Amino acid sequence: MPGTEHIGTIWGRSFSIMVDHGEGIYLFDTTGRKYMDFTSGIGVTSTGHAHPKVVKAIQDQAAKLIHGQANIVYHQPMMNLIDEFFFSNSGAEIVEAAVKLAKQATKRTNVIVFSGSFHGRTHLTMSMTTSKTIYRIGYQPMVAGIHVTPYPYAYQLKLDDEATTDYAIHELKKVLKSQSAPDETACIVLEPVLGEGGYVVPPLEFMRELRALCDQHGILLVADEVQSGVGRTGKWFASEHFNVVPDILITAKGIASGMPLSALVTRKDLMAKWITGSHGGTYGGNAVACAAAVGTIQAIKEEHLVENSLARGAQLLTGLLKLQQDFAAMGDVRGLGLMTATEFTKVNGEPDTDTSKAVVKAAFERGLMLLTCGTYDNVIRWIPPLVVSKAEIDEALKIFAGALDAVAH
């Protein structure tokens, strides 16, 4: 795009538009064109763009106190949010925090993660990330002590839920037997709905068996809800769908509607084992970011956005399943709440990256912004703001049908 040549090429970019402002589920570019933003800035703008309650919370706090450094003083917005919480700025930083806490609390060294996971781009979290090689290319070697076991991805494994659970638990037990002994394993880090790796919902039984295995060996279960948290899946946290309580839960993205904030919550006994002063950061728990989070949570509660996520997610899933009947390339439709996906597959069963990318392009030309995900970028993820209305979901489905018609036969 002309006029952007001086911007670092390290950033890839999905859409070549210059955004002027956002409102609700819409983005407006500098020419005045309007787009339905079903990316939510990668799952961040939970209350939509410029929600009045969030904007007011930010404005009021910015006029009072922008930075009250957490090691130096207390400030009220953090007090309004806090309950055995630790705060940071980004998803990667909060994953780092969770692993560091797990290591100190258990006095163990190793971490187990799942194939296809995305946990961030710092050196530790990159080493925990196996969704795509692009995140580690040229940066080898990885941090030591991280072991990978298969995610229970039923569609890709071509198994039913029961067989998927058996396979994934069997492989995890094998890792504990052959690579990282339980006594050396501090934590198992799992995305309760796999995000960048393809929006995969694990079987209920897998989650129960995973919890039991962690309890059996004194391994801490860390739920990375950076993407799936804060109402996204139709519950406050995706872990609730499985009735599984993690030892450490981390979240970010949707918590502050776009201000940089991430949070870690855990039990008092674990928090007490985290040595004071051994972790932190200059900006973690910033006053304006905390105020934005308080405004976000207030808006989610008052406007019943968790319930809306569930209802609109069901509407979206029904609409996509209907479209699947006419478009064979839509191999799988799945999701929880407004964390929903369509996986594109060729007749021979191979991932159909070309079609998913062509559909995203055709949808964009028609005013609907969508993102792909998955190791092969053959999954289109549906991740609109939680404020999306019934009519807006219908409109997006109509645009998507038109895009499918144009490119996928």
Residues lying near ligand PLP in the complex (CB under 6 A): 42, 90-92, 95, 118-120, 191, 195-196, 224, 226-227, 252
- Smallest distance, Å, CB 302 to ligand PLP? 27
Residue 129 Cβ vs ligand PLP, minimum distance, rounded to whole Å:
8
For 386, list phi and psi in degrees, rounded to 5.
-70, -10
Minimum CB distance to ligand PLP smaller for 63 or for 137? 137
Q: How far is the CB of 193 from ligand PLP (least distance, A)?
A: 9
Q: Minimal distance in Å, beta carbon 94 to ligand PLP? A: 8
Q: Taken in order 394, 194, 122, 96, is the CA torsion positive or negative? A: positive
Among all residues, whose Cβ is closest to ligand PLP?
91
If the CB atoms of residues 92 and 300 are measured against ligand PLP, the closer one turns out to be: 92
Helix (H), strand (E), coil (C) string for the chain? CCCCCCCCCCCCCCCCCCEEEEEECEEEECCCCEEEECCHHHHCCCCCECCHHHHHHHHHHHHHCCCCCCCCCCCHHHHHHCCCEEEECCHHHHHHHHHHHHHHHHCCCEEEEECCCCCCCCHHHHHCCCCCHHHCCCCCCCCCCEEEECCCCHHHHCCCHHHHHHHHHHHHHHHHHHCCCHHHEEEEEECCCECCCCCECCCHHHHHHHHHHHHHHCCEEEEEECCCCCCCCCCCCHHHHHCCCCCEEEECHHHHECECCEEEEECHHHHCCCCCCCCCCCCCCCHHHHHHHHHHHHHHHHCCHHHHHHHHHHHHHHHHHHHHCCCCCEEEEEEECCEEEEEEECCCCCECHHHHHHHHHHHHHCCEECEEECCCCCEEEECCCCCCCHHHHHHHHHHHHHHHHHHCC
**Closer residue to ligand PLP, CB minimum distance, 90 or 156:** 90
CB of 93 to ligand PLP, least distance (A): 7
Q: How far is the CB of 97 from ligand PLP (least distance, A)?
A: 12
Q: For residues 228 and 355, which CB has a smaller minimum distance to ligand PLP in the complex?
A: 228
User: Nearest approach, Cβ of 197 to ligand PLP (angstroms)?
Assistant: 9
Instruction: Return the number of the residue (195 or 335) whose C-beta is nearest ligand PLP.
Output: 195
Considering the complex, state which of residue 255 and residue 397 has its C-beta at the smaller distance from ligand PLP: 255
CB of residue 254 vs ligand PLP: minimum separation in angstroms?
A: 11
Taking the least distance from each CB to ligand PLP, the nearer of 93 and 209 is 93
Q: Compute CA distances 381 → 152, 163, 389, whole Å.
A: 18, 26, 18
**Smallest distance, ligand PLP to C-beta of residue 118, A:** 5
- 29-66 exposure pattern, b = at least 16 Cβ within 10 A, e = fewer: eeeeeebbbbbbbbbbbbbbbebebbeebbeebeeeee
The residue among 57 and 223 lying less far from ligand PLP, judged by its C-beta, is 223
Nearer to ligand PLP, 233 or 345 (CB): 233
The residue (of 120 and 285) whose beta carbon lies closer to ligand PLP is 120
Question: In the complex, what is the shortest distance from the CB of residue 322 to ligand PLP, in angstroms, rounded to a whole number?
Answer: 29
